[in-house]
Each structure stands twice: as C-alpha cells, then as structure tokens.
Amino acid sequence: MNIYVGNLPRETSQQELQTAFEAFGQVSTAVVIKDKYTGQSKGFGFVDMPDQEQAQAAISNFNGKNFNGRPLTVNEARPRTEGGPRSGGGGGGSRGGFGGGGYSGGGSGGGYRGGNKGGNRW
C-alpha cells in the first residue's frame, strides 16, 4: 500500500522516514519529495508498504501524531488525477475585464485633441 505522509519537518531524511515506518513492518520504499530547483524538502513524502495490515497499523499510529515536533497527516495515497494537482483552475479567460481593450472608444483615437476649440485665442 502506498502511504501519503504530509506535514513532514523540512529536515526529515528519507532514511528517517523509512526507519520510522519500519517499526510497523517491511517498507519497500520511502521518498521525501523535494523541490527540483532548491533541493529542499516540500514537507511531504510517500512510503510503500507491501503488507496491507502493517500499512494500516502505521497509518493509524502516525496520523495526527507528532514527528520531530510536527503533527503528521498520514493516509492511503490516492492516485494523481490526469494533469496532476494543477488541473481545473478555471477562469482566466478575459483578464482585466475592460472589454475590447486598447483606447478605441468613440473613434477619435484618444489623446489630446485640444488647441482649436472656440476659435482663435488671439
């Protein structure tokens, strides 16, 4: 079973995560997700445990419990939907809401047209 582990302290290593879950049984893999640019932990990871009962015991034990000072969110990992977490979003279409855009209202081309109103000043 693949297990999501959220709210991990940033300094948690993959080895620490694996060791913690091994207290409940065999761990196939333990991964702390890191930012691809900075290499810093994103504060969550995944643990894969082949035995369902052991995995459920680990989830029950760790969910809501403090791990290095932070309460963990632990549950069965759900598969990502098509497009990942950025799907949906919506909106965006006509940004700004100013209709046609530009300065074309009235056909004059805008700008200052003064200078000759009311005849000659001199």
In a domain? residue 42: yes
Predicted confidence at residue 93, as pLDDT, reads 52
CATH code for the domain in which residue 34 is found: 3.30.70.330
* Residue 112 counted as domain residue: no
In total, how many domains does the chain have? Answer: 1
What is the domain range of residue 34? 2-76
The predicted model scores a pTM of 0.66
The pLDDT tens digits of the residues spanning 66-95 come to 999 999 999 999 988 765 555 455 555 555
Give pLDDT, residue 101. 53
Output phi, psi for 95, to 5 deg: -70, 140
